[in-house]
Structure 1
Amino acid sequence: MLYGAGNTFYERAIRLHQQHADRWGHTLQVLREDIAAGFWNKPTYILHVLTQELIKPPSKRAEWLMWVDADSIIINPAISSEVFLPPSDLSHIHFVGTRDHIGLNTGIFYLRVSAWSVSFLVETLGMPLYKPELELGRSADQEAMGKILSKEKGGPIGKGYREGMAYVPRTWISTYEWRHAYEGQRGDMLVHFPGLEEQRWKHMADWLDIVEMTPEKWECPLAETKYWNVTPDFWKDYRAAYELMTETDRMQREEVLSDAVRAAARDLKTILETEADDTEKVKKARHRLRAERDGKPVA
């Protein structure tokens, strides 16, 4: 998304995103016109791109869209952005994003090309109309997305949106440049510059110079990065927890389970929907539910 007065830093960053997309056979689209009032350009444009994909025959559609703000720079183009997506059998996940100390950050996230995503964006865009009393603050679109994703009722199948989202560890897809230092390491896919205000330009200029003039300093094949093991392990653990939770849910419909089992199942469900990026918490909640079901003491 880049419109208004020209910005050389953003243009240079977009060129690196374009090179990355070309390398991996992806299509990059850039919003260059102001199409909505206030902070609503992002969800409006994503909804446009999403519906343009959905009107295609299924065999011609993209499966996922990835949104990246213009204040992000690809520093390791040797990694495809598809590496971080959930395996195909986890088809209930439609939104893959990250959170930081403030909460949901919508600078970089994935949306599945699906009716679920259309409904999510329509509700996000409609929030100022059907909830005019809500104060959404400076980042209104981000705040609205967070509120819609937290819903447990309504939505395309009446169950809200929470069970259709998953947080991944933020530094996978959105390592931050802080005022004092970069939090990532060689091999990370990109650097993101949220919250830096006017300091953003110096930080972006420094990184752009590094990547454009000495790309070998940060480019690193997937097999030599942290992603090689942690990404498949993350989704393996997520799948095990999700399958245990859904199996327990089926059991609850067929037999009476103890209060402890039902409470453990609820806790695991909440963690998968709102804190899946906390891998230790997911593992502990899964082990607790398994132990309660098996009638074993919980450590």
Structure 2
Amino acid sequence: MAGLDRGRVGDLLGVRVERVVDRGSSHSWTLHQVTLADGREAFVKAAADQAGVFAAETAGLRWLGDGDGDGDGDGSDGDGDGGGAPVAEVLAADDHHLVLPWLPAESPEPAAAERLGRELAALHARGPDSYGAPWTGFIADLPLDNTLSDEPWSRWYADRRLAPFLERAGHHLADSEKQLVERVIEEIDGLAGPPEPPARIHGDLWGGNVLWSGGRGWLIDPAAHGGHRETDLAMLGLFGAPHLERVLAAYDEVSPLADGWRDRIPLHQLHPLLVHLELYGASYRSQVVAAARAAVRG
């Protein structure tokens, strides 16, 4: 795991890096706070070679922040807020670094949670034409199949998310437990609820991927793609998020959710739990099995 190259970061930004404070590591990269010669502060992810991961994160952040759906804009209206979406501007990126503005963390307040709910509803509403995304995806440093498709979300989710990660992580499950997840995949058309158009979703929106700063919740570390809006809401509840019911209530006021959406939370949580089973092993086995059982019970 290589550290930050301050000279390269300075070249990317066109301004000298004056100071670096290491902020730990995550997966295959290190985390840093840097102070620039012009007085700005920035956040940097650095790795020996994470070209695919950093490219996907860059594309995802810009796509979440853009209004045109092509992912080619810079995701910013000049003040770092993604043109109204709660997404920070990508300042620079290459195969070894991803640079974002430094956002000082603060305690989340109820008003900020309600704002996040409204902004998340607006973000989802700017949906793409298809499920998937026009770039290779990653969640942590595991690849995601983002193949674009006009098929129903239920089949896209089963074929591009559940089945691949059951294959990757299934060795941690007993045969009967694998068969339970396979049942979810087989019956998914009847479990997925009423059809919805593709939403522009974060894709990995657990509570740790919301950074509270400046009176709002910022979305970070996305696995962005055209998906189902209930996925982001289910992810917020997976490991807990502050003022979650306020987020959900504000969301529902702007964009009412389909009947039975709470019953479908385990279905949407099943994929990230399979990801954790792959990353961290059998400690997530019971949660995978519980989510699969809850999904088929509806």
Which has the larger helix fraction?
1
Higher strand share: 2
| Structure ID, larger Rg | 1
| Same topology, TM > 0.5 | no
Q: TM-score, normalised by structure 2?
A: 0.30
